[in-house]
Structure 1
């Protein structure tokens, strides 16, 4: 018998154990992590088999846009209806909603039945910073200074989430004209995202400027939607596609596919 309810602080250890089974915490070396933020936002649901968490789901809001950030059920409990039960509680029926789905056909089918449609691939790139074209390092900025740019590219405002992320150790915020990038240092590499701009050129300048600022890190990871013109440039510079998801949307163009780089977990 499965039950679904809003997660409480005492449930986080079990939720985190599920997340680790899927490798979700690899880029979160210390607390607080994105699960803490989902819990604080009040949009983290846990699915239980008896008293043990065996799945969870969560959303982030950007203005009126709902981003489904997580939906995970342990393999031994999949195809049980628990994923559908979590989704039914998480996703508003009438509001715009987006997600990144794994390439598992069952996952894509589940989201299509919830009214979303596949739009394009989301490509996870990793590569060396040494071969990138030279750019002046981007200037440091504050979350408040980039909030409007982020809302324009990402589909809605999320000032509190930006401020929370920027306050974490190793996170810096950069701006180059009408573009911005948030970068987190993770020891031997940096993670870029969210990032974007009012134009594709502004987006590219901000991302490349942020990478120039962190060139000493040696390696970078970032997520690019298929239409982004940065994709061929980065591949030419030696980046490789480490993994891919499918971006799905309930309709329209809620985010700027060619000038926005999401954070893999925060959207």
Structure 2
């Protein structure tokens, strides 16, 4: 087995493995645009057998929250052979280092692997779908803007740079203000609120409500931390939990529970 950097020539093999483990949507390894983004802006590695066949793949990227493992998947026919651990050791070569996090699937091989790498389970990342909120209390106002404006606003809120992620996300930007104060920045693609940077505060739930109303669709989807202050209200309003991942991180990482997250790009 050989672990090495992936190339554009590996896109088809990465897609094949991703589809085999049920990762078929846009923003997964089955999406060549997503993997190409990671090749340009992160680190992508593949595990090959002696014949050069790709048996597994993984990727990392850095951002305002830390060093993220975006993906780690092994061909189902080769589970249990240590490929995931070998890939992870190459992607995170110093597993004593801090600043690392991921959104883990609930696969029984995944959680022990990440715990051994020094990550702790935190909270579920809920995949939610439901009706767009009809109204809020009016304290926050969301507007649609160009993606470039959102990248600058995100940097204002976090002090970090996410321009590459916003370049990849092709939807409309969303800014949320309370009066003249910027309180959140994100991006929406169709009826999905793909990401929302929201530092929090007492109006985090209304901030989210305003952003969801800005999508302009009758039904919406988003990935929300289980402890988010809006979860109970959304469930009472008819939202469904379609699936969930588990946020895991090293002790020095603080993952805000008031953000909307992209499972692949944070």
Cα distance change of structure 1 residues 150 and 248 upon mapping to structure 2, 3 Å threshold: farther
Aligned to 2:46: 46
SS of 1:103's partner is coil
Counterpart CA distance in 1 for 2:135 and 2:6 is 43
Question: 1:151: how far off?
Answer: 2.8
Counterpart CA distance in 1 for 2:27 and 2:250 is 29
Normalised by the length of structure 1, the TM-score is 0.85
Aligned residues: CA RMSD: 2.4
Of the structure 1 ranges 143-152 and 116-125, higher mean CA displacement relative to structure 2 is found in: 143-152
Aligned to 2:13: 14
Equivalence map 1:23-34=2 (5 Å): 23-28=22-27, 33-34=33-34
Equivalence map 1:142-181=2 (5 Å): 142-148=149-155, 151=158, 156-165=160-169, 168=170, 171-177=171-177, 178-181=183-186
Question: 1:131: how far off?
Answer: 5.5
Question: 1:150: how far off?
Answer: 5.5
**1:39-80 CA distances to partner (integer Å, 9 max, x unpaired)?**
112411111233221211001201471111100001111110
Aligned to 1:103: 106
Contact 1:121-1:245 at 8 Å conserved across structures: yes
Cα distance change of structure 1 residues 10 and 194 upon mapping to structure 2, 3 Å threshold: same
Counterpart CA distance in 1 for 2:173 and 2:199 is 17
Contact 1:34-1:265 at 8 Å conserved across structures: no
Equivalence map 1:83-94=2 (5 Å): 83-91=84-92, 92-93=94-95, 94=97
SS of 1:265's partner is coil
Question: 1:88: how far off?
Answer: 0.3
Counterpart CA distance in 1 for 2:65 and 2:199 is 20
Contact 1:55-1:72 at 8 Å conserved across structures: yes
Counterpart CA distance in 2 for 1:7 and 1:67 is 18
Cα distance change of structure 1 residues 32 and 137 upon mapping to structure 2, 3 Å threshold: farther
Counterpart CA distance in 2 for 1:182 and 1:244 is 21
Question: 1:90: how far off?
Answer: 0.7
Which residue of the other structure, out of 112, 118, 121, is the alignment partner of 2:121?
A: 118
Question: 1:125: how far off?
Answer: 0.7
Aligned to 2:180: none
Counterpart CA distance in 2 for 1:145 and 1:196 is 12
**1:150-181 CA distances to partner (integer Å, 9 max, x unpaired)?**
536xxx4322222332xx2xx01111121123
SS of 1:199's partner is coil
Normalised by the length of structure 2, the TM-score is 0.86
- What residue ranges of structure 2 are gaps of 5+ in the alignment? 178-182
Counterpart CA distance in 2 for 1:128 and 1:64 is 30
Counterpart CA distance in 2 for 1:204 and 1:149 is 21
Contact 1:102-1:246 at 8 Å conserved across structures: yes
**1:188-245 CA distances to partner (integer Å, 9 max, x unpaired)?**
xx22132132224454334322221223x32211111121111111111111100111
